[in-house]
Amino acid sequence: ETGVTQTPRHLVMGMTNKKSLKCEQHLGHNAMYWYKQSAKKPLELMFVYNFKEQTENNSVPSRFSPECPNSSHLFLHLHTLQPEDSALYLCASSPTGQGAKNIQYFGAGTRLSVL
Amino acid sequence: KQEVTQIPAALSVPEGENLVLNCSFTDSAIYNLQWFRQDPGKGLTSLLLIQSSQREQTSGRLNASLDKSSGRSTLYIAASQPGDSATYLCAVTPGGQNFVFGPGTRLSVLP
């Protein structure tokens, strides 16, 4: 148990659906991240939030919309997704935004299938 | 643009063997390098973090080294066990928070 909780663990949705992924940490961390892990590809950073403010958007399509209401919670809102968006979506948090000692703690991920 | 590669892509060894996993990165300007373990269908667990000023870190049977100038890191696992079977990923922090991951090495330790 890393202290980072993601829900749901599995999600199946149609291309016209709207759904949200949730991430929660009570580690007192100030930075939170969304990653995408597709089959046969390296883990890709999607978004970074520091103290609730978005500081990185790695050219992610607008059909993915992140939300960070406070330092403990992070959401990823999904709408009109494509089948190629099917992947494992991982959330992570870290104590601070930057620095040589910035260790990330990962959740177990949400396995998303888009039909 | 920073790129991270890992060799081999997959490795199968008998229990008890010592083994080395390799990670290479193209830009030596990094803050740190982390090694992670990922079990099937699960998230990542941080194993070791090496700051850019350090040469190596050790935790139990694991030892990670860093040679920034050559853009290489190795993860040494001593006396491997079936429970070590997983995918091992390395990631570098080139600056800011844009962590860049390698594709991973899938390790199988056979009883």
pLDDT digit string (tens) for A23-49? 999 899 999 999 999 987 889 999 999
Q: For residue B37, give the chain A residue with the closest CA.
A: A106
The alpha-carbon gap from A115 to the nearest alpha carbon of chain B, in Å, equals: 20
Q: What share of chain B is helix, strand, coil (3-state, %, to 5)?
A: 5, 55, 40
A43 vs A105, A110, B15, B83, CA distance in Å?
14, 14, 29, 23
pLDDT at A24: 97
pLDDT for the residue numbered A41: 84
State pLDDT tens for residues B37-71. 999 878 899 999 998 899 999 999 999 999 999 99
Check pLDDT > 70 for residue A1.
no
Residue A68 CA to residue A51 CA, distance in Å, equals: 9
Runs of H (alpha helix) within chain B: none
Whether the predicted pLDDT of A52 surpasses 70: yes
Which residue do the tokens 């992140």 mark? A66
Round the average pLDDT of chain B to a whole number and report it. Answer: 93
Q: What is the pLDDT of residue B94?
A: 78
Tokens 């040679």 correspond to what residue?
A: B67
**Beta pairing partners, B25:** B4
**A contact test, residue of B44, B45, B57, B93 with most A CBs within 10 A:** B44
Residue from the list B53, B93, B102 with its beta carbon closest to the beta carbon of A102: B93
CB proximity B41 to A under 8 Å: yes
Contact A109 B91 (CB under 8 A): no
- pLDDT band at residue A103, thresholds of 50, 70 and 90? confident
Which of A104, A105, A111 is the best residue to mutate to test the B interface, defined by the most B CB atoms within 10 Å of its own CB? Answer: A104
**Dihedral angle at the C-alpha atoms of A45, A47, A51, A55, nearest 10 degrees?**
100
Between the alpha carbon of residue B18 and those of residues A57, A61, B56, the distances in Å are: 40, 44, 17
What residues of chain B lie within 8 A of the CB of A99, using their CB? 31
